[in-house]
A and B are shown apart, each in its own frame.
Chain A
Amino acid sequence: MNFTLSKRARTIPLVLIIIGLVMAVIGFTGDHTDHKQYTWAAFYANALFFFFIALGTLFFYVVNHVTETGWTILVKRVYEAIAAYLPWGALAVLLVLVAGSAGLHHIWPWMDTRTLDTADPLHYDAHIALLSPYLNKPFFWIRTILIMATFIFFARWFRAHSLRMDQETGEALIRSHWKNYRRSVVFILLFAFFSSVLAWDWIMSIDVHWKSALFGWYVFGGMWVSGMITAVILVLYLKGKGYLPQVNSSHIQDMGKWVFAVSFLWSYLYFEQFLLIWYSNIPEESSYYMVRIAHHPWLIWGMFFINFALPMVLLMSRDSKRTPRYLIGVGVLIFIGHWLDTVQMIMPGSLGPHFEHIGILEVGFFVAFLGIFIRLVLSALAKAPLTVVAHPFLEESVHHHI
């Protein structure tokens, strides 16, 4: 059975894009920061958030290949559709990186070459000079292009290979399955390294004076859980429309469990990073939290509460993960929670005191990106049969029961 976009599924994303862009334009005209930095930062936070959803989903999808998980085969196409947003998300992220590199804004202070000039005491920064063997533009772009190219190549290859496997039977299908498995192992190894590097380069270097060894994992935990939430909401939407008839409540419960479990991974990493810095109380480490907690206590603790306490209490019981409406409601809450997390990663660091509270720009870009994301994911979903036609584990997935 193929998915076809209903009239509403075509108009709602379009309406979201228009509303979001109108809000963004209103926000843009009221943006009085130098280089319109507020607009760039708000755009970047949302570009990253949706890119991370696609990347986290791709990661989980590939982990399922490596572990040879059977039960997810029925919802495989949903993961592929979300991962199909990856190249577009990469484009949005790269736009901000290129603009920063060209000097159109100063989200990354180290990209300004004046920070390395000892003759310019106003801008010279000894710490950035110390980091310049790693944080310099050529090396940064080598890393960024390598990371983006790897992710986009693998996302497209896995999708194409999955569609190829639909046409195969018998021995050929098994051979394709093993090829998929080998490629997945390669991807996971690369992802393990690149997910940390991208977090350092694209996010941690905004607060260039601050380092955290855990930061890469924390960002990774956030992208993983965002992907899990998006996948389960999309599956429940499709089931509500009468698609995916073979997906039963055991599949739904397991997908809910992943939201629950990865929420804890994220909470653990976030809190561990905070706890060690709070405990050791070294100025160059705690400055990161001073900027955030001293000025935005509600944002920081509110988002930690939403992302940790809410899933823990609301998704603990078995029934909560088997009741679609309830699961969608909690999922949307945590989705917003992780958006707040991404906003607090980017905004206070790139704007300093100019970031007072979440305003029309952040929300406007969020709504616009949401519209684009929904539209692209749903059209990717419509391009292939909604359940795989042939897969060695298809039978196992159909009979999934816990």
Chain B
Amino acid sequence: MVNKVIYAVYEDPELLKSAARKLITAGVKVRDVFSPFPVHGIDPIIGLKRTRLGIVSFMFGVFGLSLAVLGTYYMSIYDWPMNIGGKPNQFYYQNVPGFVPVLFEFTVLCAAHGMAITYLIRNKTLPGMPGRNPDPRSTNDKFIIELRMEDNQQHASEAITNMLRETPVFEINERQC
């Protein structure tokens, strides 16, 4: 019975949070939570690691800035210096104020797109990918806790179910995977 998954369905994010807190204090490991909208403050309760998306975004931003510096340098200083409004084009630093809007826009473009695409890939939610949602009601008005028996081998599944029944649960579903 190691491969059993338990889904505890709740009707309210606050009920779910109190139930999750109860489970964690009893030593049960919660694998994931599915909800129609982000449940505020659930991350520290179920012990989710802090997102590293900000670091990814920063790295994409640095990448974009470097690429834009390289591009403006090659195009407007090295390969074909152009006289625009009499601005000096002998050296990069002399002409850099004129490049600032491009550098800024390209940094933002790379940071934003890089972050969004990384997010979609990491969540396996790129367009066309199969949904991994266990219960379509969690996109509407239900909040679901996912417990896996492989994470909780020290507990019997009946014990966990009994524990869940003590919380204000709406329904409990079990599934083999």
Contact = CB atoms under 8 A, between A and B. Distances in A.
B41 A279 contact: no
A326 interface: no
A79 B40 CA distance: 28
B40 A401 contact: yes
Nearest to A401: B41
A248 to B, nearest CB: 13
B127 interface: no
Interface residues of B, number: 11
Nearest to A268: B104
Contact of B100 (A275, A281, A318, A401): A275
B86 interface: yes
A278 interface: yes
Given A279-B85, A281-B85, A281-B86, A317 B54 contact: yes
A346 to B, nearest CB: 24
Contacts of B58: 316
B98 interface: yes
B97 interface: yes
Nearest to A399: B41
Contacts of A401: 40-41
A271 interface: yes
A274 B97 CA distance: 9
Contacts of B100: 271, 275
Contact of B98 (A279, A316, A317, A318): A279
Interface residues of A, number: 11
A318 B50 CA distance: 11
A318 B52 CA distance: 11
Contacts of A279: 85, 87, 97-98
B112 to A, nearest CB: 16
A275 B97 contact: yes
A56 B154 CA distance: 59
Nearest to A402: B40
Interface string B84-103: 01110000000001101100
Given A401-B40, A401-B41, A278 B54 contact: no
Nearest to B50: A318
Contacts of B98: 275, 278-279
B54 A318 contact: yes
Given A274-B97, A275-B98, A278-B98, 11 more contacts: A271-B100, A275-B97, A275-B101, A278-B97, A279-B85, A279-B97, A279-B98, A280-B85, A281-B85, A318-B54, A401-B40
20 contacts: A271-B100, A274-B97, A275-B97, A275-B98, A275-B100, A275-B101, A278-B97, A278-B98, A279-B85, A279-B87, A279-B97, A279-B98, A280-B85, A281-B85, A281-B86, A316-B58, A317-B54, A318-B54, A401-B40, A401-B41
Interface of A: 271, 274-275, 278-281, 316-318, 401
Interface of B: 40-41, 54, 58, 85-87, 97-98, 100-101
